[in-house]
Amino acid sequence: MKPIKVEHPLIEHKLAILRDKKTGTKEFRELISEITLFLCYEAMKDAKLTEVEIETPVAKTKAHVIDENDYVFVPIIRAGTGMIDGIVTMIPNAKIGHIGLYRDEKTLKPVRYYYKMPKGIENKQVIVIDPMLATGGSGIDAITLLKEDGVKNIKFLSIIAAPEGLMRIEEVHPDVQVYCAAIDDHLNDVGYIVPGLGDAGDRIFGTV
């Protein structure tokens, strides 16, 4: 599937501040959460609604709700955990899984060290989250692990993506829809997105 770039003036504004090397840790974290809200909003456009009857202070009426338990959000540790606050603001009862991967600095390939999912993951809509989609290696590996667990419905949310990473995910997992706030120019010779914003994990957790 072709990636969906979520466009909005507020996203552009927040991305500009997010990218700025002068932006401090506190504001950076807040911006990650705020942009995640927009991505989650777009990714949930096809969410199934169930009709229920409620009573307002004035009268009984029909309303429509989402079954929040049908959704599992899976951050790729560690940077992906910085997006969780934005997710639970939108869907407080969503289940959260975790995948621990790190990039080998020499090979640029992902190495798995942690994997923990809620029960019944195979029957859920699973949305993988990671602020940066660079080479696509971690994203591909995370999606592969979920498919091995029987998951059939997977989406991927990323704030900034590189064309190389998007192309790789589309080639390996053509059934996975990617949502992002920006598609940058290219990867440099050490696998960083250009212009990007540096290392998202370091900036989220203040380990720059």
Yes or no: say if 114 and 86 are a contact pair by the CB < 8 Å rule: no
82 contacts 32 by C-beta, under 8 angstroms: yes
Q: Active site residue: 56, 107, 168, 175, which one?
A: 107
**Half-sphere exposure for 22 (CA within 13 Å, toward CB):** 2
Distance of alpha carbon 197 from alpha carbon 183, whole angstroms: 12
d(CA 185, CA 166) in angstroms, rounded, equals: 12
Active site includes 103?
yes
Active site residue 203: no
Active-site pick, 20, 103, 141, 144: 103
Identify the active-site residue in 149, 175, 185, 202. 202
Residue among 29, 199, 203, 207 flagged as catalytic: 199
189 classed as catalytic: no
Residue 179's nearest CA partner among 152, 153, 197, 161 is 161
What are 182's two structure tokens?
């920006």
Please say whether the beta carbons of 157 and 179 come within 8 A: yes
Catalytic residue at 23?
no
Look at residue 29 and give its three-state secondary structure.
Answer: helix
What is the rounded distance in angstroms from the CA atom of residue 114 to the CA atom of residue 100?
4
Instruction: Tell me which residues are annotated as active site.
Output: 103, 107, 199, 202
